[in-house]
């Protein structure tokens, strides 16, 4: 029982970490694309 609750907690934590990592990745892509857009805009 103790091992099972520990495993469930680990799975919940890894799921949360995956979700937050994907969210951070999306924000990172948005920020990078904005920065690249600014750099390209200056060169024109």
Question: pLDDT tens digit string along 17-43?
Answer: 899 898 899 999 999 999 999 888 877
pLDDT class for 1, splitting at 50, 70, 90? Answer: low
Work out the mean pLDDT of the chain and round it to a whole number.
88
Tell me how far CA of residue 8 lies from CA of 11, 17, 20, 21, 40, in angstroms: 5, 14, 18, 20, 48
Query: Could you say which DSSP state residue 1 is in?
Result: -
Span 4-8, average pLDDT? 89
- The DSSP secondary structure of 5-36, one letter per residue, reads HHHHHHHHHHHHHHHHHHHHHHHHHHHHHHHH
Q: pTM for the full model?
A: 0.47
Instruction: Determine the Cα–Cα distance for residues 14 and 42; give it in Å rounded to an integer.
Output: 42
């Amino acid at each position: 029982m103790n091992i099972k609750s520990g495993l469930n907690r680990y799975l919940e934590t890894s799921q949360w970490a995956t979700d937050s990592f994907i969210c951070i990745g999306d924000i990172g892509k948005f920020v990078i694309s904005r920065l690249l857009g600014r750099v390209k805009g200056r060169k024109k």
